[in-house]
A = this chain, B = another copy of it.
Amino acid sequence: MLYLISLGLWDEKDMSLRALEAGRKCKKLYLELYTSPWFGSRKELERLFGKPIELVGRQKLEEGISGLIEEARKTDVGILVPGDALSATTHLSILAEAKRQKVKARVIHGSSILTAIAESGLSLYRFGQTVTLPKDGPKKSFWDAVRKNLRAGLHTLVLLEPGLGLERALKLLKLRRPLVAGCRFGGETLIRYGRPSKLKELGDCQPAVLVIPAKLSFYEEEFLSILAKE
């Protein structure tokens, strides 16, 4: 059996009791930390699961999929993943390949920035398509998505490519309109709303996301103004 085990938002305490149970059952555990940032410790995970955990990089995970799946045909194998397990394309590909190879697979879900962003006071039902900002700047498809969202009166959640910090992201976007910036979701969350110059006060607080908001409702605006004073 192949388990895709979500670790959730911040550290090892954000995984579910079901994740803990599944991981303890696995004979072999892999940990993947390159698709999204995670602030827990492998040591602490090993203590909780009661076994060693092998850190895997992009190469082993993407090129070695068939090896992993053959291993999971014979025994219980778990891949530990930050956030919710299928938010990265890589993990969806692994699940698809397991299914193609008729190896049983199970997904254990966890918390994710895609819903935790509601801590900003922005309604999850007012979000359009989510986009990722690459380190080398936004592509045409990025702005197409933002524009369509704005035209439909919807907010855009902007994820930052791993390694991209808030200040650099603001420079890449070159926007002057007020944005929502948030960081450390799941931990000591900080959220600010304002023009890019104001958002810089968050410094290198990590991991960070941005929202390009559509016209805010009265409640959203009030909520954000309270957060600014915290």
Contacts and interface: CB of A to CB of B under 8 A. Distances in A.
B109 A121 contact: no
Contacts of A148: 148, 152
Given A86-B115, A92-B123, A152-B129, A226 B110 contact: no
A206 interface: no
Interface string A81-110: 000111101001001100110000001011
A115 to B, nearest CB: 4
Interface stretch (A6-14, A30-38, A70-78): A6-14
B111 A84 contact: yes
Interface in A109-139: 109-112, 114-116, 118-119, 121, 123-132
Contact of A16 (B14, B21, B112, B185): B14
20 contacts: A8-B109, A14-B16, A14-B109, A15-B16, A16-B16, A17-B20, A18-B186, A86-B116, A87-B115, A92-B123, A92-B223, A95-B121, A96-B121, A96-B219, A109-B111, A110-B110, A112-B112, A112-B115, A125-B132, A145-B152
A212 interface: no
Given A99-B226, A118-B92, A129 B112 contact: no
Contact of A100 (B114, B125, B226): B226
A166 interface: no
Contacts of A96: 121, 219, 222-223, 226
Contact of A111 (B6, B126, B223): B6
Contacts of A116: 84, 86, 107, 109
A180 interface: no
A36 to B, nearest CB: 12
A138 to B, nearest CB: 15
Contacts of A127: 129-130
A1 to B, nearest CB: 14
A209 interface: no
A154 interface: yes
